[in-house]
Structure 1
Amino acid sequence: MTHMTELEREGDINSSRQRVSWLEGLDDRSQALLQADEAVFVRQSLSTPCLNGIANAEGCYIWDLNHKRYLDFHGNSAHQVGYKNPDVLAAVKRQLEELPFIPRRYTADIAVKAARALINKTTSKDFKVLFTPSGSAAVGIALKAARKITGKHKVISMWESFHGAGLDTISVGGEYVFRKDMGPLLPGCIHAIPYNAYRNLFDSSCPEAVAKFCLDYIEYIIQNEGDIGAILLEPIRATDTHIPPQAYFQRLRQICDQNGILLIFDEIPTALGRSGAFFVHQHFAVEPDILVLGKGLGGGVIPQAAVLLKSKYDLAQDISLGHYTHEKPALGCAAICAAIDYIDNHQLVEQCRRHAAFVTECAGRLYDTYEWIGDCRIAGLLISFELVKDRTTKEKYNDLAEKILYNCLKQGLSFKLTGGNCITWHPPLIVTTEQLAFAFHVLEEAIKHNRP
């Protein structure tokens, strides 16, 4: 498997000519802040130098140091209920005053309430919960649980996937920018080529053929490798919104059951309603054995993640799977409860589905008008526009994508690039039709401005 080029990675890069030009255009105060940031924080790809400084974030917007407002369709996929959500802030403030910390070996009503709230959102309501301080840690716990439950240490995951930046999670992840120069990784990690890698080999009107091809290959790995304990994947790939058909997951579930393999779904950036269902896998009428959550789980306020494990697999009482200082996180649990209540009380999942219809209509018009849009992939408010030089060859148009990004930023719309040529939008669930219309207007003007 050849690694991705410099522009084909998890997010937009910060060492390109376009980024340098953007940074040079910032005012002295903003540039001074970025320099101060680089002086005290460890530099890393995708993060250093930062894009800009911000002074405020509220609702669907962020403001820079000069009070310029940006409609934020990035949000690190953590702002489902918007920035500074008043209900989440109020819940966290109450918890701070009542009980800010629960020492390990003890519990409290708020922890039980948060776990139960998540369980009640599942289809079967037959899960148990372990909270973790980060999504990467949650994936690590899922891998440990799979080893303990099955007695098998090998795991199949996908190339190009992202599951966190820890040494264990980059072992199962497939992004070169995270694995580069790391030397030996976790043993037993086997990578399959994901659904999206094959789609150009088949008639696009027949995704079931792609699904069959991919799953035949996974079965081949299982039959010839042996000792597979788990299959880990994102049911909808967050970074560029690839959506396998329901048949893919139906058969994948069957393959796991027939071979004693646990199915682990990483829904860290995609759950909590943004796909048009509370959990992504609910679109496909299957349940995983282990579900991993994070990002928006903390209401855009508290770093919070969780592992949901089928009740019958609660079999690790003789070992410590996590043993975290914040194993029952009081503030995180308050944020979880408030975020779920807010989503329910404001019917944001239903609203997301209505917005998806509007987005699909707008995206279709762009696709019909501009030949450089090779594909539009939409699941709820998980949205990607793939830019190509030619729709037949599917050659990526990375340079155009970058130009569009910075043109949109100048006009007050923030989002991310992925894979070099995919414009990816993850709007908050609280977004309005007017804000979506504004985003499409800005995107179309950027396309017109930068057309070849």
Structure 2
Amino acid sequence: MWIEDTAGRRYMDFHGNNVHHVGYAHPRVIAAIKAQLDVLTFAPRRFASDRAVELAEALGSRFRTLTGVAGKVLFTTGGSDAVEVAIKLARLATGRFKTLSFWDSFHGAGFGASSVGGESLFRNGRAVGPLLPGAEHVAPFGCYRCAYGHAVDANGQPNLDQCKLACASMVRYVLEREGDVAAVIAEPARAVPFIPPPGYWRAVREACHAHGTLLIFDEIPTGLGKTGRFFAAEHDGAAPDIVVLGKALGGGVLPIAACIARADLDLAGAWAFGHYTHEKNPVMAAAAVATLDVIEREQLVDNAERVGAYALERLQEMKDRHRLIGDIRGRGLLIGIELVADRATKMPAPDAAERVLYAALSRGLSFKTTMGNVLTLTPPLITTQAQMGQALDILDRSLCEISQGC
């Protein structure tokens, strides 16, 4: 998990862009890559290789565990491409072209992926012009900052009797009014991060079923164990029709992504979705097979759940001492600490967040901020409880420094 700058200073990488689940240069992943280089380095996309088949079978098995049905896989070299494969598949399967996704979401930098994404980056200022037609958006779940004005308790939990899952009801409302949406696409747990309220995805799943709409889960940042389950969707009891994986799938070494769909959605026939030159590259597939093996052998999903629970417990204790902390949220090793200038008004504190970030960096801990004021910790799955404790000690001291005492 360690990175080093040109002056020889070392930092714990609690960002890693959600790529370093098994760390950097895990010996099993490196060994698999080296071995594959001596066997087969490239296969034209018209052909498969034994490593690509092995990887597809492994991911298909995981998909069946999640959904209860068989899955088929198409590989790409990046998450944006895999998202766009999912969109094309949804269009073909439903005969519709509209999508419904969420403001403030990110699904990649490709043209189609940025269209279904909800970041202002692709819309304001020097934007690239009109995005894909039919890319509809609604407000996302996010209980601490509920778009529908509902309050949370002191622990950031919603009152479901009061809010009645207004965020999910809006999804149903839009699907009903539009009438012809091909797919809802979303991260099952937002990488910001925000965690869905109980029952949210079950309600959305029911709405999709009622209106002939497919449900696509973008598990690129959250999958492969980040939240303490292999798929983040496992927490919420809602089976998607399509899942997209990427980032960490290549073991923190090589780029590879996958679109996994229900087998009955294999409707394209001779019409190609991909045409990606390196879509089934055997070296990248070997890295991914080794990555899945490491995650299973080293029980990293369980480790993420255990170390994440420890982190959330400690962070709640820190919240009691640091008035800057407005909310703590997360699952597994996807953790957010939202800083506010005032807990009553929830006014964001982006300047304080930036100062905490650099104070922590000076002490050897690297992470990122999201939405300006959310300290976002996404360490690798190999993180031990001792290492998490070390990181949280640094964060605690950094918060003390910024608030000028504890």
Structure 1's unaligned 5+ residue stretches are: 1-59
AA aligned to 1:110 is R
Partners of 1:353 and 1:133 in 2: CA distance = 29
Whether 2:96 is the aligned partner of 1:152: answer yes
Question: How much has 1:203 moved relative to structure 2?
Answer: 3.0
Q: Contact between 1:295 and 1:305, CA under 8 Å: does it hold in 2?
A: yes
Q: Contact between 2:172 and 2:204, CA under 8 Å: does it hold in 1?
A: no
- Change over 3 Å in CA distance of 1:151–1:200 after alignment to 2: closer
Partners of 1:108 and 1:318 in 2: CA distance = 20
- Secondary structure at 1:160 match in 2: coil
Deviations 1:283-311 (A, max 9, x none): 11221101011000000011110000111
Partners of 1:294 and 1:179 in 2: CA distance = 25
Partners of 1:146 and 1:161 in 2: CA distance = 19
Matched residue, 2:244: 292
Whether 2:325 is the aligned partner of 1:373: answer yes
AA aligned to 1:414 is S
Q: TM-score, normalised by structure 2?
A: 0.94
Partners of 1:111 and 1:318 in 2: CA distance = 20
Deviations 1:161-208 (A, max 9, x none): 000111111111111113332211100010101111526822314353
- Secondary structure at 1:417 match in 2: strand
Matched residue, 1:237: 190
Q: Contact between 1:80 and 1:274, CA under 8 Å: does it hold in 2?
A: yes
Matched residue, 2:15: 74
- Secondary structure at 1:106 match in 2: coil
Partners of 1:429 and 1:253 in 2: CA distance = 29
Superposition CA RMSD, Å: 1.3
Q: Contact between 1:360 and 1:378, CA under 8 Å: does it hold in 2?
A: yes
Matched residue, 1:43: none
Given the alignment, which residue of 117, 126, 129 partners 2:70? 126
Q: Contact between 2:69 and 2:262, CA under 8 Å: does it hold in 1?
A: no
Structure 2's unaligned 5+ residue stretches are: none
AA aligned to 1:383 is I
AA aligned to 1:230 is A
Whether 2:162 is the aligned partner of 1:162: answer no
Matched residue, 1:35: none
Q: Contact between 1:72 and 1:414, CA under 8 Å: does it hold in 2?
A: yes
- Change over 3 Å in CA distance of 1:148–1:347 after alignment to 2: same
Given the alignment, which residue of 114, 134, 137 partners 1:191? 137
- Secondary structure at 1:388 match in 2: strand
Given the alignment, which residue of 195, 203, 206 partners 2:151? 203
Matched residue, 2:173: 220
Whether 2:389 is the aligned partner of 1:443: answer no
Deviations 1:288-338 (A, max 9, x none): 101011000000011110000111111111311112111212111101110
Q: Contact between 1:264 and 1:291, CA under 8 Å: does it hold in 2?
A: yes
Report matched runs for 1:5-24 at 5 Å. Answer: none
Question: How much has 1:391 moved relative to structure 2?
Answer: 1.1
Matched residue, 2:357: 405
Q: Contact between 2:176 and 2:211, CA under 8 Å: does it hold in 1?
A: no
- Secondary structure at 1:336 match in 2: helix
- Change over 3 Å in CA distance of 1:233–1:191 after alignment to 2: same
AA aligned to 1:242 is F
Q: Contact between 1:198 and 1:210, CA under 8 Å: does it hold in 2?
A: no
Partners of 2:266 and 2:101 in 1: CA distance = 23
Q: Contact between 1:119 and 1:125, CA under 8 Å: does it hold in 2?
A: no
Q: TM-score, normalised by structure 1?
A: 0.85
Partners of 2:40 and 2:91 in 1: CA distance = 35
Whether 2:296 is the aligned partner of 1:344: answer yes
Q: Contact between 1:195 and 1:211, CA under 8 Å: does it hold in 2?
A: no
Query: What is the number of residues matched between the two proteins?
Result: 392
Report matched runs for 1:50-69 at 5 Å. Answer: 60-69=1-10
Q: Contact between 1:73 and 1:425, CA under 8 Å: does it hold in 2?
A: yes
Q: Contact between 2:148 and 2:166, CA under 8 Å: does it hold in 1?
A: no
- Change over 3 Å in CA distance of 1:210–1:319 after alignment to 2: farther
Question: How much has 1:222 moved relative to structure 2?
Answer: 1.8
Matched residue, 1:137: 81
